Amino acid sequence: MTDGARPSGALARQAEWLARYEPGLRVAERGKVVSVGDGIAWISGLPSAAMDDILSFEDGSRATVFNLTGDLIGAVLLHQTDALTAGTVAHLGGRSLSIPVGDALLGRVIDPLGLPLDGQEAPEHEAYRPLDTKSPPIIARDFVNKPLYSGIKIIDTMIPIGKGQRQLLIGDEGLGRSSIAIDTVINQQGKDVRCVYVLIGQKRSTVINTMQLLREHGALEYTTLVVAEASSLPGLQYLAPFAGCAVAEQWMFQGRDTLVVYDDLSTHARTYRELSLLLRQPPGREAYPGDIFSVHARLLERATCLNASHGGGTMTALPIVETQQGEIAAYIPTNLISITDGQVYLDRERFAGGFRPAIDIGRSVSRIGGQAQHPRIKEEAGRMKLDYLQFLELEVFTRFGARLEASMEAAIHRGRLLQQILKQDRLTPLPVEFEMAWMVAFNDGHLDSIEPEQVAGVLGKLQQQVANSDLRIDDPREQWVDAVTRWLPSPKDTGSAAP
């Protein structure tokens, strides 16, 4: 071949390999499957195997090393064929577990190994990233200093979330934890935030419903779904949150803002308990293995805000955890509360009472979100949370028919107004400009003359006015006050008088 027609691509690599090849004696380890079942395989041989190594089986199955004993290797299956039985030959794969990452994953549905689940071609990846890696060091981190808006009034004002924060969504099943996470993802449209939604051990109908909701609201184009269905191998369900974290981590180190949702870590903990018991690891509290805390801490510590010298990217994490009968002090919820930077607690009584989202302000907290809150929002929100909690205490007196002072009646009326204002339907995230408008209106007493039943109609008109105006969150408060005064209907128009 002449110099002008040199091979390229795969041919060049093959020619280079042939040029370096030298025949000689090579030694390779060879293991054998002793038993297989329930997503677990026990293998003899392979004395050089280490934790998290990939094992390749003769029939095409794959597994990762999860437990090492004196004479056997416990491996978690990642791919299993019908031909995998006792006696199948196993080899070391020679690499650790990793997943393809990059922009090609946007709008795609993949499994924890990066294989497509949406019926399309495999995405062309730009790089691989290990599933389990160390979190960024302290010197690479910065303080959380930018807000991440959920579009939910009660969260953005009283339980704010900052970019790089880890905020736990906690509550019983069926109270709207996933709805809050989906609303937050939908609200990132046009805000240059890339999202990863991890579904762990969910039913296929739930997966399809989530995908359709994101697609209908235009959110799938900037989101990657990492799915390990309930029918998938336990090993894939265990790896799913680490895979989603690795996908988001790649964008974070490129200097982008990312949001990752883990739905949910209760199922993940149960899967890890199942695998650990099958692999004969000693059980601890509630039969969970002793290292379940470190597993979740290792995962959530990777969500952070990088400083400018490391790209300035952020990864915000919204882990979801389930409680039983509202028991917040159970083992896994307590662990996650201590790991994260705050929690949004959903209460069944408020849900049954028709308050949506059913967030219990008294049990919810954001430890660092206030530092990232926009100054205007922070100024208006001010004492709103404390005043609302005082209203909830005062409201108890009204149930006994007690005669109240005028000042107390006025405080209860404003509390009931605020309670109505904070109600919000799912899949209706709101812009931050509207949140500024209703807070100015509430704080300046523009809503005091209406009854709580009229709040929804007044806010609807206010939202239309905000959408048609050029006011932005950074504009002076005086401009907001003038605009709100013009927009809101007078007490005469609402047909009610001040209490």
Q: What are phi and psi of 298, to 5 degrees?
A: -65, -35
Q: What CA–CA distance (Å, rounded) separates 463 from 457? A: 10
Nearest to 319 by CA among 246, 394, 376, 261: 261
Q: What CA–CA distance (Å, rounded) separates 225 from 199? A: 7
Determine whether 367 is an active site residue: yes
DSSP 8-state assignment for residue 404: -
Answer yes or no: are the C-beta atoms of 210 and 182 closer than 8 Å.
Answer: yes
DSSP 8-state assignment for residue 33: E
Buried (b) or exposed (e) across 395-417, using 16+ Cβ within 10 A? eeeeeeeeeeeeeeeebbbbbbb
Q: What CA–CA distance (Å, rounded) separates 388 from 477? A: 23
- Mode of pairing for the β-strands spanning 31-37 and 40-44: antiparallel
Please pick, among 298, 348, 356, 367, the residue that the annotation labels catalytic: 367
Helical packing angle, 432-443 and 455-467, nearest 10°: 130
Helical packing angle, 455-467 and 477-487, nearest 10°: 120
Q: Is 311 left (phi over 0), alpha (psi -120 to 50) or beta?
A: left
What DSSP letter does each residue of 191-214 carry, written as one string? TTEEEEEEEEEE-HHHHHHHHHHH
What DSSP letter does each residue of 286-325 carry, written as one string? GG-BTTHHHHHHHHHTT--BB-GGGT--EEEEEEEEE-ST
What is the gyration radius of the CA atoms in the chain, in angstroms? 27
Answer yes or no: are the C-beta atoms of 264 and 194 closer than 8 Å.
Answer: no
Give the C-alpha distances (Å, rounded to integers) separating 277 from 53, 74, 158, 281: 20, 11, 42, 6
- Angle, CA of 228, 233 and 238, to the nearest 5°: 60
Distance of alpha carbon 124 from the chain centroid: 25
What DSSP letter does each residue of 336-382 carry, written as one string? HHHHSSEEEEE-HHHHHTT-SS-B-GGG-EETTHHHHS-HHHHHHHT
Cβ neighbors of 108 (< 8 A, separation 6 or more) are 116, 118, 120, 123, 224, 225
- Catalytic residue annotation: 367
